[in-house]
Structure 1
Amino acid sequence: MIRKIGGFALCLLVLASAALAEDRGPVTNLPLPRFVSMKATEGNARRGPSLSHRIDWVYKRRGMPLEVTAEHGHWRRVRDRDGAGGWVHYSLLSGVRTVLVEQDMLQLHQRADPDSPVTAILELGVIAELGDCEMTACELTAGGYEGWAPKTALWGVKPDEIRE
């Protein structure tokens, strides 16, 4: 049943539905923002989306998770865990999802249950490949080990993100 509430309420309803609509990149039509990783062992982050722009930052870690915040042609504006970044050529990026461990001596568990047995312990700054994610934990692979860790200890996954 739909009931007319008034112009103000209708305006709020339109604004709320627009806020729920996910932003999409004009080039790829993929969600913005979204997480990717560095495919290359080295990549320049530039002030603008072309080779003529100044290099502000050089990423030197293959697999580093980055967040894409904008697109322009073959360029993606990215930011890292510290908020640094710039425009990176798309060929340097991968859709393979990784996360950065933000807690020293992070325990990986056999299951998403924190009371399950520990399979490995990861140091602060380790880059791990991201697997499935439930509401509070994600499955990670790093150094040949697999296990589950709390999302709160990771950068590169949204707090409400579910992955299967």
Structure 2
Amino acid sequence: MSRLLTLVLSFFCGIATLAMSTPARAQDVDLPYWASISADQANMRAGASERYPIKWVYERRGLPVKVLRSYQGWRMVREPDGTEGWIFSSLLSRQRTAIVIGEDLATMHESGSESAPMRWTLEPGVVGVLGECIESWCEFSVERMAGWHRGWVAQDRLWGAGEP
């Protein structure tokens, strides 16, 4: 009887250990990686805790960030301008987005080629959903009131494209 009890207790202790270790494994991802702001409002803090002061308040869902480090549910991120700070992980999404960078308008083409017909021009600061990148061109979708504008943009005009 005591042997059966020991076996049953060992089984349940093993299950409990496995259940407790699952969240830790879920956080084990290769760093750095791209993410985006998933909330309508997100605070960037000076450290990985609510005790640290707020450095910046994001008020725009979908902005791309590069995740550099992970610590107890917090992610150290970098913005396009190089600013770094900590954001709570539940305020981030793994959806790949990008932001148009540069001084002048970027062109969105029908396909991934400079010679492809131009569809639209995009101002620096426009944020969109990033699709597949082939060679030096990326599929890019921008939501507008009349629907989605889709096309291809040169990868060097998008922060959030390519390898982190």
The normalised TM-score by structure 1 is: 0.77
Structure 2 residue identity aligned to 1:128 = G
Percent identity between the two aligned chains? 36
Query: Following the alignment from structure 2 to structure 1, what is the Cα–Cα distance between the partners of residues 159 and 78?
Result: 12
Question: In structure 2, which of residues 142, 145, 150 is the aligned counterpart of residue 146 of structure 1?
Answer: 150
Query: Following the alignment from structure 1 to structure 2, what is the Cα–Cα distance between the partners of residues 87 and 27?
Result: 19
Query: Following the alignment from structure 1 to structure 2, what is the Cα–Cα distance between the partners of residues 71 and 100?
Result: 23
The 5-angstrom pairing of residues 13-32 of structure 1 reads 28-32=27-31
Partner secondary structure for residue 152 of structure 1: helix
The 5-angstrom pairing of residues 2-151 of structure 1 reads 28-103=27-102, 104-143=104-143, 144-151=148-155
Question: Across the two proteins, how many residue pairs are aligned to each other?
Answer: 136
Structure 1 residue identity aligned to 2:132 = D
Do 1:57 and 1:85's aligned partners in 2 also have CA atoms closer than 8 Å? Answer: no
Partner secondary structure for residue 145 of structure 1: strand
- Flag structure 1 segments of 5+ consecutive residues without an equivalent: 1-24
Query: Following the alignment from structure 1 to structure 2, what is the Cα–Cα distance between the partners of residues 114 and 125?
Result: 21
- Flag structure 2 segments of 5+ consecutive residues without an equivalent: 1-23
Structure 2 residue identity aligned to 1:156 = G
Q: Point out the structure with max Rg over C-alpha.
A: 2
Structure 2 residue identity aligned to 1:60 = E
The normalised TM-score by structure 2 is: 0.77
